[in-house]
Amino acid sequence: MSKLRPVLRQLLILLLVTVTYTLQASPNSPSNSQVERSRAKIVNRVQQLDLPLKVATTDDFTDRKINEYLELGHRSTERMLGRANQYFPVFEYYLRKHHMPASLKYLAVAESMLVPGAVSPVSAAGLWQLMPETAREMGLRVDSIVDERLDLYRSTEAAVLMLKRLHGEFGDWHLALAAYNCGNGRVRKAIRLAGTKQYSKVQAFLPGETQRYVASYVAAAYAVNYYGDHGLIPYELEGTDYVMVHRYMNLAKVARECDVRIATLRRLNPNFVRGYVPSNVSGYRLRIPSQKKQEVQHFLWGRPNLVELPRTEDLPAAHATAAMMGYDPQMILLGVSAERLLFKRPSWAFQSLRDGLLMNFYDSYQALALA
């Protein structure tokens, strides 16, 4: 057996040399110059995206992630792009509201592929993959009834404020994104070990996943902006809208009364864990298919709920709807109780109060009614 070992070693070396030569000689294997040209093209495109961090070059991991988005996983990417058409306007609103770079919206792609009900093995959840403790620190409700990490609007604002706080702490977007992934405590420790805040040196002291996190964000941004060059087409999804719900409301009942599939309501509202909207003074957004909004609103008119008629170009129609239902929004604004709206004619005191106020502002606002 000992005599065979040198022979086997020589055969193995010969095999490795042969395989290496074959791969180098293969007409299908890209040359180093082709790889470099492709990478330079990607970097040039990324620099045009106006990301909040500087990308001087890409690495093998970034190139692999871009290939996963645009080649290997193109079907899931097309579905993600369809969801992006719905979610990005919401992301952009909150980023603009808090004076943050609009391109941070791509971070949610790297986090969850824009799957609103996504839950990781370590219990991070939602579009922005917030941990339960972190979400509660940011003011979100996370319990067995409501998980606001799965709420499109509230989770987005919480994530934006968290990113703003992290950037304020570190003053660098590379470090802020790293802290979003692994926590600001680990980033502070990595800075101490590196003896500097320079990200290229801090990176080596971060957890393995976090070391690749900035690259994942860059790859997501690239995929969202250049998918068309790779022949991808976003999935067409049905439009969605929302109504505000302030009182207890069972999703199954809304689905039954308004001819909406319960599976659709559950998919659009994964934040209502038990399948109902609990009472809340501030109200919860109930996401619904756009074509069903009028039916859902009419259903809610007959329930003990504050109903909002969105402002349109045809305000008289909104007033006519309220009048048809027997409600006067002006009376609500002036404090008339709900139970007296239908049966109580305006008193002399009420008329005097209304005449004494400048009510011309009313036509510029949304019509409200309390059923």
Distance CA 176, CA 196 (A): 15
For residues 54 and 89, membership in a common domain is answered with yes
Same domain as 106, residue 123: yes
List all residues 6 or more positions away from 311 whose beta carbon is below 8 Å from its beta carbon.
318, 365, 366
Q: Domain boundary residue among 288, 308, 328?
A: 308
User: What confidence category does residue 275 fall into, taking pLDDT thresholds of 50, 70 and 90?
Assistant: very high
Integer angstrom CA distances of residue 46 from 120, 218, 262, 269, 350: 28, 7, 42, 34, 63
Q: Per the domain annotation, does 99 fall within a domain?
A: yes
Are 216 and 273 in a shared domain? no
Burial of 302 (0-12, 13-18, 19+ CB in 10 A): exposed
**pLDDT band for position 137 (50/70/90)?**
very high
Does residue 311 have a pLDDT over 90?
Answer: no
What's at 177, amino acid-wise? L
pLDDT digits (tens, 9 = 90+) for 74-97: 899 999 999 999 999 999 999 999
Confidence at 343, pLDDT banded by 50, 70, 90: very low
pLDDT beyond 70 at 181 = yes
Is the separation of the CB atoms in 73 and 85 below 8 Å?
no
Domain span including residue 290: 238-308
Residue after which a domain boundary falls, among 254, 287, 308:
308
Verify that 159 and 212 share a domain, yes or no.
yes
- Which carries the bigger pLDDT value, residue 102 or residue 49? 102
Q: Which two tokens stand for residue 213?
A: 């996190």
Q: Residue 168 class from Cβ within 10 Å (0-12 exposed, 13-18 middle, 19+ buried)? A: exposed
The predicted pLDDT at position 128 comes to: 98
Confidence of residue 366 (pLDDT cuts 50, 70, 90): very low
Q: What is the pLDDT of residue 22?
A: 52
Residue 3 lies in a domain: no
Tell me: do 252 and 316 sit in the same domain: no
Residue with tokens 């801090």: 202
Least confident piece of the model among 40-49, 53-62, 264-273, 358-367: 358-367
> Among candidates 64, 84, 151, 143, which has minimal Cα distance to 116?
151
165 located within any domain: yes
Task: Tell me, yes or no, whether 129 and 194 share the same domain.
Answer: yes
Residue 339 annotated among the catalytic residues of the structure? no
- Domain C-terminal end among 206, 230, 254: 230
Q: Model confidence over 187-218: pLDDT tens digits? A: 999 999 999 999 999 999 999 999 999 999 99
Domain membership of residue 25 (yes or no) is no
Statement to judge: residues 332 and 295 lie in one domain: no
Tokens representing residue 368 in the block: 């409200």
Per residue in 95-136, pLDDT tens? 999 999 999 999 999 999 999 999 999 999 999 999 999 999
Q: Which own/partner pairs from 316-323 qualify as long-range (CB within 8 Å, at least 24 positions apart)?
A: 318/366, 318/367, 319/367, 321/367, 322/367, 322/369
Mean pLDDT of 6-32: 55
- Give yes or no for a contact between 39 and 63, defined as CB atoms under 8 angstroms apart: yes
Residue 50: band (very low, low, confident or very high) from pLDDT cuts 50, 70, 90: confident
- 118 and 218 in one domain? yes
| Whether residue 115 is found in the same domain as residue 169 | yes
Same domain, 146 and 205: yes
Q: Is residue 5 part of a domain?
A: no
Catalytic residue of the set 111, 137, 148, 339: 111
Any idea what the CATH number is for the domain that residue 79 is in? 1.10.530.10
Structurally, how many domains does the chain consist of?
Answer: 3
- Specify the residue for token string 């991070």: 124
Question: Is the residue at 339 inside a domain?
Answer: yes
pTM exceeds 0.85 for this model? no
225 and 247 housed in the same domain: no
Question: Considering only 55-59, 234-238, 297-301, which range has the smallest mean pLDDT?
Answer: 55-59
- 212 and 260 in a single domain? The answer is no
Share of the chain above pLDDT 70, in %: 72
